[in-house]
Structure 1
C-alpha cells in the first residue's frame, strides 16, 4: 500500500514492513558469531521489531532486531538519547547499548543492538493508587528534565505516533469504516485546530520519549518507578506531548480517570514545571493520542489482517473517544489548570 504524507513516501515505513522473523536457532548462531555470547533465548513481543531476552551465566540482555525499514540514524538517536539521560540523571535506568552489529539474513541487512536488561516489573503489574500515579508523574517529569537540552537530527522526523502530525491522522481517516467514527475523529481535530493552533507558537519544543505508559515504565521491588524502556517513538515535538501521552493511557486504563490524571500531572509538575498554555493544551493532545490509536489500528489491520495485537486497544480507545466527545473539553482544560498549577 502506497501512502504519502506531505509529499513524503511511506511505502517502506516500519509500520508497513513486517517485523523480522528470526528463529531462536538463528539468533543463537548470531549471538555466538557476532556478539560472542550464548545463553537461554526467550521471545519478547514487539510491534515492528523483534526482541529477545538473553539469559547468560553472567547476566541478562535484550537483543533487539530492528525492522529493515528503520533508519540507521534513528537507531543512533535512541542510543545517544539513553546515554544522555544516564549522564544527566544516573538514577533513571534506561537500556544502554552493550554492542551493535549488522548481519545479512536471506539477502537483507538487519541492524541488531544488544542492550542491558533492567531488572524489575512493569508498572502495569501493579494495582495503581492515586499516590502511585503521582509517583509515576514525578518519574516522567524527571525524564523530561533529564532530556532537557538534548537534540539529534534524526529526532526531527515526520512520525506516525507524533500528536502534532495531524495530517497523518487526517490521511488515515480513509481507513476508518463508518462515518460516525470519522466524525468523532474530525470533532477532536476541530477542537485541536480551534484551541491549540492559535497558541502553538508559544508551546515549547523538545525531544521526548513519546511513549511513557505502564508497559514501558519499570518499578523496583519497593514498587517505586525507576526505569523506562522502548525509545522507538522518540521524536522532536511539543514538550507537553510527553505528559499528554501518559495521561492518555491513564484515561484508557481507568473507569474514573481524572483524579488519577490530576495526581500524575501534580507529580510531573513537581519535577518539571509546565506553564499555563501547556496545561491548557494537554487535554487536546491527549485526545489526539487516542485518535492516533484508532486510526493507526484501522490502517495497519488492513496491511496485516492476521495480527490481532494491532486491534487490541481499538475497542477501548473508541469507547474513550465516545465519552470524551460528550465532555466539554474547554471546561476540562480549565479544571486541569485549577487542579495542577
Structure 2
C-alpha cells in the first residue's frame, strides 16, 4: 500500500457499520458470550462496546470470566488492513500488565486468537475482546493540581517502561491523528468556515512545518501511547469512599500507539488537561510530575507551545471534519465544548505578560514543586 493510501483522505468512511443485534451475534460466535447488557462507548473511527455477559448461560469455551465485563473493539477498516498493528496493540497491553501498569487484558477467541478479521457491512474489520478495567475516568472526578501532577508522573513512568517495547507493526504506521501528520491538515481545513479560526489553523500548520519538522531527527524517539486524555485515564479514590481525592490508577485505549517522540506524548497530555480546565497553567502541573520521573531537554521544552497548539488545531479541524461527515458523531465535539478555540487563542497571544505568563510551564512547575 502506498504511503498516501495509509492516511485518511477527505470523504473516506472507515468506521464500522453494525447494529446492536449484529454485535451480540458477533460476540456469541467469536467468544461464546451471551450478552446480558450492551453499551456503546465513545470511539472516533472505531466502534467500542461495554459488554456484561449473562451469568446463566454457561459456555465451556470460556475458562476465566471477567467479573467486571468486557469491551468489544471493532477497528476501523483502514487500520484493520495492518494486521501487525492489531498484534502490536495486544502485545503492548500484555507487556505493560507484566510491568505493573493497569490496563485492559486481551482475551482469546474460540479459535485461540487475540483478534480476528471479520466482514462487517462489506468491509474487513479487526475484532478484539478485552477485559473491562474498573475505575472512574479522569473526566468524571474532581480535578486538582495534585491529580494533574500525578498524571505527569504516570505518563513519564509509562514512557520509561515503553523504552523497552518495540514492534514491527509500528515501524511504518501512518495515522492522521499522529502529531507528525499536522501538515496533512491542509487537506481538511476547508471545513473551518470562520475566517479568524482558519487564520489560526494556517498559522499553526506553518509554524509546525518550520519549527518542528526540521527538528524531528534530534528528538528522543520510541513507542508512545499517543492519546493520553481525560477519557483514557483511569482514577480511583485515594481512600475508600472518598469523593474528592483521587489518584491515577491505569490507562486504556491503545488505538493510537505509534513509534514517535516522547515530547509528543507530554504535549498531548498537557493539551487535554488544559482543555479540561480551560487554563493553560494546568500544563505546568503535568510538566512538574513528568520531569520528576523523566528528563526533558531544554530544546524539547521550547517546542511544547507549538506542539500543544498543533494538537489543538488537529483536534478542532478533524473534529469539524468528522461532524461534517456524520453530524451524530459527538466524540470530538468535546474539544469545541471545552472551548478549544479559546484555549488556542490564549496560547497564540503574541505578547503574554512576562510577570504572569500562563504558558511559562517551567516556572509554574518549579513553583508547584517548591510548594509541595
TM-score normalised to the size of structure 1?
Answer: 0.87
| Alignment check: 8 A CA contact 2:280 2:358 kept | no
CA separation of 1:224/1:14 partners in 2, compared to 1, >3 Å: closer, same or farther?
A: farther
1-side partners of 2:7 and 2:259: how far apart?
Answer: 22
Specify the alignment match of 2:76 in structure 1.
Answer: 67
Q: 2:298 aligns with which of 259, 276, 279?
A: 276
1:185-207 Cα deviation digits (max 9, x unpaired): 22223443454455433211111
- Partner SS, residue 260 of structure 2: strand
Range with greater deviation from structure 2 (135-144 or 36-45): 36-45
Residue 253 in structure 1 maps to residue 276 in structure 2: yes
- Please say if 1:32 is aligned against 2:28: yes
Count of paired positions: 333
Structure 1 equivalent of residue 117 of structure 2 = 102
Counterpart for residue 229 of structure 2: 213
The equivalent of 1:142 in structure 2 is 157
Structure 1 residue aligned with 2:242: none
Tell me the residue number matched to 1:48: 45
Which stretches in structure 1 are left out of the alignment for 5+ residues?
1-5
* Structure 1 residues 22 and 299: alpha-carbon distance in aligned structure 2, compared to 1, 3 A threshold: closer
Judge which range, 233-242 or 309-318, deviates more: 309-318
**Structure 2 equivalent of residue 161 of structure 1:** 177
SS in 1 for 2:128: strand
Task: Please point out which of 95, 102, 105 is paired with 1:84.
Answer: 95
d(CA) in 1 for partners of 2:267, 2:7: 29
Q: Residue 137 of structure 2 aligns with which residue?
A: 122
Quick one: distance in 2 between partners of 1:243 and 1:157? 20
Q: Distance in 2 between matches of 1:287 and 1:163?
A: 11
TM-score normalised to structure 2 length: 0.80
Counterpart CA distance in 2 for 1:265 and 1:272 is 10
| Per-residue CA distance 1:18-70 (angstroms, 9 max, x = gap) | 53243333333322222122232322232212211122334211111222232
Describe the SS at the equivalent of 2:51.
Answer: strand
Aligned equivalents of 1:198 and 1:143: distance in 2? Answer: 27
The Cα shift of 1:11 comes to 8.0
CA deviations over 1:221-267 (Å, ceiling 9, x no partner)? 43221211111111122210101001111221224331x22111111
Counterparts of 2:277 and 2:342 in 1: how far apart (Å)? 12
Contact map agreement 1:17 1:69 (CA 8 A) in 2: no
SS at match of 1:46: coil
Distance, in Å, in 2 between the alignment partners of 1:11 and 1:240 is 23
Q: Partners in 1 of 2:220 and 2:268 — Cα distance?
A: 16
